[in-house]
Structure 1
Amino acid sequence: MTKTPYAAPAATRRTRWTALALAGAALVSVTAGAVLPASAAEPQGAAVTTAGRALHPVDTVALTALMKPGEVASGTMVRVGGTGPGWTAATGPLSQDPAANFRIGSITKLFTSTLVLQLVGEGRFTLDTPVQELLPGTLPAHWKPITVGQLLSHTSGIQQPCVDFVDGEAPTPEQVVAHWTDPRCAAPQYPVHVQQYNGANHFLLGMVVEKVTGRSYADEIQRRIARPLGLRHTYSPKPGDRTVPGPVLADGGEIEPWAWAEGGMLSNAPDLERFMTSLLRGRLLKPAQQRQLFVMPALSEGAVDRFSTGGLMRAEIGGTVVWGKAGSMGRSTSGVFATEGGRRTVVYSFLPASKDRELVRGHIAALVGAAL
């Protein structure tokens, strides 16, 4: 394994790129305890019954109010889909094109998890297979076995890195993982007591995809997901490519070149809606792996962000359970969430105007709640 040069060996230092990776959950996670505005928690209008369950109309009044540029967000895009009439709008310095492209950040993890579950369904390996067997020599020899399932559910125990990349460096996935495994940094925490969101898990999963298939991660995204679903705006860019083809939803700001299978993909709202609907309706996975999407491990109890054994984030808003993923990249914060079976989906992206995490977190809960 090739080690990268270090900017500084300070053991207590958190890297800029690590902080951005964590933002996908810590800054923008939708939590069960978030308080929704009254209008979002109690949408007006008669409920529509779908598959025996109530599906309320989209609270467009609440969404319109929440999307006005203000102290939380300077511009917002929301797309609501699923069963029944859809709705989409954008405000502030964002493209008014409903199919504008953007960097999806840690939403990428949903695509990576899907690839891994497909390979499990093909018998290439199991959720109990140690990653050390699939990627020999990648992790330190003294580490205990870490399984594919532990990576998917963020129960690997891998800790955060303590070293920096050199400015301007475009590291390989192997070099990124080397920062998490550097002997000067904390070793995995054993036993694992609770889920701990960590981008290292999906870098390793992306490496597993490439090793097992013999193809690049970008090629597998196209071959297994994007082309079969007709996702024409969804792809993993080449290393170092920071461009976003037009129309662009918003000025992306500074884009990290390393994100890859952890947070580097591009897409748009229609594609993300179609992907999420297809995933939740079983069009991408075999039945056994489809069930894993909704199994919550015991270690998820008490976690800041809760993930299923299949890698889906679970949240409860106004008494309704939603599944999906949030993410950040550059200046924007985005997410895709859906109710069971994809009966209602919501894709959002906005430019945060506040650094108050709780304020932003509550704003996201309100947006998603108004769309349910």
Structure 2
Amino acid sequence: MRNQIGAIIIAAGLSSRMKIFKPLLKIGKKTAVEMAVTSMQQAGIQEILVVTGYQWERIADTLDTTSIQLLVNEQYMKGMYSSIVKGVTNLSEKIKAFFLLPVDIPLIKSRTLQEIMTCYDETQAGIVYPVFNDIKGHPPLISTKYKEAIIANNLPGGLRSLLENYERDTAKIEVVDAGITMDMDTQDDYVNLLEYYLARSIPNEAECRAILKKFGTPMHILQHGEKVAMLACSIGKALNEKGYNFNRDLLRASGMLHDIAKGRPCHAEAGGEILMNLGYPQVAKVIAAHMEIETKDCENITEEEIIYLADKMVNKCNIVSLEDRLRLSYEKYCHQPQAFKHIERRLKEAGHILNKIIKITGLSEERIIAFDQQGESK
């Protein structure tokens, strides 16, 4: 079935609002059009049509046309819809559904495309939209049963207006991909997109919330994770002021997501596996260590140790001393000596980490607890 899904990338316009030719804007080492093509290829899409128009020769010089089909829409001045029709008209007969992606939305994860295709297979819907934090994004996957309607359409409102007529044949899938809503209409949009690209190995705050929502995380776990993230980022900032170089985004994401698998057996490892499968190995590594860790008696501090300590110092949603955490744990588990023994051992490890941080930063435990009143340090 997957070899019957194609992709149409629209790269024909003037880029009039941007004032710079968007298909060839650099994102890392590739152009926007190359990024869009690569995402489709990594998702296993074999038939990829790139519809060009304005400055089509420059795009042709950029792309490997042995792996994609380059189309020139000589009527591109009539607007984007003419380019959509050009692409749809040139789909091969074997294609049963196609992605439609404007070139100025180039940072779609290949995993997102795979999830959309899975939704298409499972729901048998004629149109599937990806959704990120309740916002519908690109690219839709559209059945070729609507091919003739698209070609014949001359109503105002373009493709969006046409597809709204088939709402009953539509499915939506929640994805963990802010890129589906990020375009490049302005210079500021381009700057934001570049910042997102450079940090793409770690989920941003909105993506963390989407992950938590996707896995049905209860509110009390969300609130605990937010407090752990705040404390971890504040500790990381204090250490950075002493010459360390901790990634605030990694600490924030790991704190927010560390209990995503809470309630499952070996929930730390299970959470790490979830993040690994989502394509975030750095976060996975930190999360997997938040219940069992072996500290070293030296001044080297790791992200794993910061999250481990922050988790142990946050009781529900309150930052407490390790002594208070031990007392609270004893009150809860005094009739379960084996369970309390494990807690006592973990808090002892947390104490080793705390002592290292105190030695490096000069902060007392009381000052660290006071981060609760100060909020997250930037």
TM-score norm. by structure 1 comes to 0.22
Higher RCO (CA < 8 A, seq sep 6+): 1
Structure with more of its chain in helix, by fraction: 2
- After TM superposition, the score normalised by the length of structure 2 is 0.22
